[in-house]
Amino acid sequence: RYMEGGGIKKWPLKRRIISKGATFLGRLLFPEIHDPVSGFFAVKKSVVVRAPLRPRGYKILLEVLGKGTWLKANEIPFEFVDRATGSSKLGRRTIIEYAGQVIDNAQFSWNHHESAVWQEWVKLFRFGIVGLSGIIVNEGVLIYLKGYIQLSLPVASIIAIELSILSNFILNDTWTFGTGQQHAMPHWWQRLFSFQVVSIGGAAINFVILNALAVFAGVDYRVANILGILVAFAWNFLVNRRVTWKKSG
């Protein structure tokens, strides 16, 4: 439903919002899957033959993705049409069951490192480590250029930021996501350009949150900055994961 060529017909706003929210949570675990809560799917027997499935409610695909054995999934777009008869199964209990299923899949991955969810945790952890290294590069270059080369602060800051972005890109491209997989962007310069754009977006998000909370909400600027950094980090990881280093095919 949520990939190019797919769609939904005649859904009320409430159902669209709930469905989008559920899809967002599911894609935190499986970024490559556009619609991890679809009820229309098929799997090879080998995917689930040894999987300890314990599905809750109606979102069985999420359980298969989280506990099944698989490396690749193909999605085919379709247009979802609302039911002609009967009533929707969506209710408070279904939402609670779904949230529990997301948590259960996350917990399952901690003891099953071969699972798709655990592989995402690894990428997230590496992305965070690379981000911390970028802070060190930024600070070190800034101190060197401003303190020893005597460049003006704006110029030194711009150079330090750009070098930290380049450092982050190289490490993420070769370590975080560079596991021999084929990317939708086959050339490194395409991924570098995408990473630059996403990083600028992250910096803008950090700036807006910092100033909005500190200036208009009266939050301590240090706390506001940390919140801005966290939101920007989530933005950088999710967008880069789904765009810059998206798998091909």
**Nearest-angstrom CA–CA distance, 186 and 189:** 9
**Nearest-angstrom CA–CA distance, 168 and 177:** 12
User: Percent of the chain having pLDDT more than 70?
Assistant: 94
pLDDT tens string 196-238:
999 999 999 999 999 899 888 888 888 888 899 999 999 999 9
**Nearest-angstrom CA–CA distance, 243 and 183:** 9
Report whether pLDDT(58) > 70: no
Q: Report the chain's mean pLDDT, rounded to a whole number.
A: 87
Alpha carbon 239 to its chain centroid, in Å, reads: 6
- DSSP category for residue 183: B
**Nearest-angstrom CA–CA distance, 197 and 214:** 26
Specify the pLDDT at position 231: 92
Specify the pLDDT at position 67: 92
Identify the bridge partners of residue 79 per DSSP, sorted by sequence position: 7
Cβ atoms of 78 and 57 within 8 Å: the answer is: no
Report whether pLDDT(97) > 90: no
Identify the bridge partners of residue 247 per DSSP, sorted by sequence position: 183
Specify the pLDDT at position 91: 64
Q: What is the mean pLDDT of residues 78-97?
A: 71
**Which segments within 39-105 are labelled E, that is strand?**
79-81
Report whether pLDDT(100) > 90: no
CA-only gyration radius of the chain, Å: 21
Specify the pLDDT at position 95: 74
